[in-house]
Amino acid sequence: MRLGGRLSAAIEILADIEARRRPVADALKDWGLSHRFAGSKDRAAIGNLVYDALRRKRSYGARMEEETPRALVSAAALETLVSGPQALYAALEGDRFAPELPGAEALSRFLDDDAHQAPAAVKADIPDWLAPHFEAAFGEDWVAEAAALSDRPPLDLRVNTLKSDRETVLAALKPFSPEPCALSPVGVRIAPIEGDGRHPNVQVEAGFQKGWFEIQDEGSQLAALLSGAMPGGQVLDFCAGAGGKTLALSGAMENSGQIHAHDADRQRLAPIYDRLKRAGVRNAQVHDPRDDLSSLEGAMDIVLIDAPCTGTGTWRRRPDAKWRLSEAALAKRTAEQDAVLAAASAFVKPGGTLVYVTCSVLGVENADRVEAFLDRNAGGFLPIDMAARWAEILPDVSPAYRAVPIAGVAAGGLMLSPRISGTDGFFIAALQAAS
């Protein structure tokens, strides 16, 4: 396909996402199924245009003075593929599949106006109602923090130390120019996609099949490490889902002690069995949602809550979620978070640790939930200083977080973000149970 066909496809897919309010991954998959002539390079290029247009929908729309799919896709092409309006028109010349684009004047205006005059929420590329939440979370940095959630993300891998080591994985993936992650000692990073390129499908690599590595954002790797799981411990992964954290915990625990992997949703849990097998995990026991967990009550060294959340920290990867999020959905999540904290806390042994993690940057899902939990459990739990914990668990890694005060502890929680730590946005807090 030439550029014209790719732009037309991206416009069609964006219109579909908007009309049917469907996830971007589903829309792209369906388009691919009904356009089998499109090669993998075409699909990648179309996907990039769609994702970029969604990531910066508001600022592109404002700079284009038009928030239509054709305006957004033109903006994405101008920012990532061609050097200016003339180059764009030239690339489409004589291409019968090319869409009708906004005029040269609109395209030039887009490039001239870098949206500096736009309201803060437009520059930040977020819905207006979320602006106060971002301001509360990041103070005067909030626009830059939110805007960084619109960048293209890297592809991060976690080396499975049960089966391999970082040098081996770096060597096995050499054709893709991997680098060691800056923060996670078990992380490997493949840089964000440039232009119309694509990330390699690392899951077809022999190393992946052999269980040498998993796809996992560096922030998620750090959250697992900062939970403090050590060899020989008893750990309940209360919201295990597909097992990303379970696998990381098993690595940190060197396959010893015991991890109980639980989730309320059987379907989400389903992939965990294959993943555990491939990774060579022998210290994890999966609990069906219907299982009786009462024998674990008051017995766990660590209970990890990787809480259901809005996922604002992952908007680089799921930009459509940013525009779908509603105040009602946020309220539903915070209620779930309170319920999960209450339920999971019963499993912590005296002196043990309750770890609370979200992939959201919103204070109402993070410190506010932990403080509400502490209020309801007066004296039962105390926040741990997470800056001290970082220094203890990651002694050779410079601090790369925003300290979040909780109940009088200055670094009661840590926040990671694309701008602060070069990772997805995460919040990590740990509470120690009274002995």
Q: Provide the annotated binding site for S-adenosyl-L-methionine.
A: 263, 306
Residue 16 lies near ligand SAM (rule: CB under 6 A)? no
Determine the size of the site formed for ligand SAM (CB under 6 A).
Answer: 18
Q: How far is the CB of 267 from ligand SAM (least distance, A)?
A: 8
Residue 306 lies near ligand SAM (rule: CB under 6 A)? yes
Q: How far is the CB of 218 from ligand SAM (least distance, A)?
A: 13
**Span near ligand SAM by CB under 6 A; candidates 3-11, 202-210, 332-340, 391-399:** 332-340
Catalytic option among 181, 239, 309, 359: 359
Residue of the chain from 65, 114, 165, 265 that contacts ligand SAM (CB under 6 A): 265
Cβ closer to ligand SAM: 227 or 234?
227
239 is catalytic: no
Cβ closer to ligand SAM: 190 or 343?
343
Residue 263 lies near ligand SAM (rule: CB under 6 A)? yes
Cβ closer to ligand SAM: 46 or 276?
276
Residue in 12, 11, 18 with CA at minimum distance from that of residue 34: 12
Q: How far is the CB of 153 from ligand SAM (least distance, A)?
A: 16
Cβ closer to ligand SAM: 122 or 240?
240
Distances from the Cα of 115 to the Cα of 69, 85, 323, angstroms: 19, 18, 19
Distances from the Cα of 423 to the Cα of 99, 359, 402, 418, angstroms: 36, 10, 13, 5
Task: Determine which helix (DSSP H) or strand (DSSP E) holds 383, and give its type and residue range.
Answer: strand 381-383
Distances from the Cα of 54 to the Cα of 6, 29, 106, 114, 391, angstroms: 16, 16, 19, 17, 38
**Span near ligand SAM by CB under 6 A; candidates 49-57, 73-81, 130-138, 238-246:** 238-246
User: Using alpha carbons only, what angle is made at residue 357 by residues 351 and 360, rounded to the nearest 5 degrees?
Assistant: 155
Q: How far is the CB of 375 from ligand SAM (least distance, A)?
A: 20
Residue 302 lies near ligand SAM (rule: CB under 6 A)? no
Residue 275 lies near ligand SAM (rule: CB under 6 A)? no
Determine the Cα–Cα distance for residues 347 and 295; give it in Å rounded to an integer. 9
Buried b (16+ CB within 10 A) or exposed e, 159-168: bbbbbbebee
Q: How far is the CB of 383 from ligand SAM (least distance, A)?
A: 21
Residue 189 lies near ligand SAM (rule: CB under 6 A)? no
Question: Which residues are documented as binding site?
Answer: 263, 306
- Residue pair 403/292 in contact (Cβ under 8 Å)? The answer is no
Residue 239 lies near ligand SAM (rule: CB under 6 A)? yes
- Sort 158 into a burial class: Cβ within 10 Å, 0-12 / 13-18 / 19+: buried
Determine the Cα–Cα distance for residues 10 and 16; give it in Å rounded to an integer. 10
Beta strand 187-190 pairing with 213-215: unpaired
- Residue pair 163/280 in contact (Cβ under 8 Å)? The answer is yes
User: Using alpha carbons only, what angle is made at residue 206 by residues 160 and 30, rounded to the nearest 5 degrees?
Assistant: 100
Residue of the chain from 136, 264, 387, 407 that contacts ligand SAM (CB under 6 A): 264
Determine the Cα–Cα distance for residues 120 and 35; give it in Å rounded to an integer. 40
Site residues for ligand SAM per CB under 6 A? 238-245, 263-265, 268, 306, 308, 336, 339-340, 343
Q: Which residues are catalytic?
A: 359
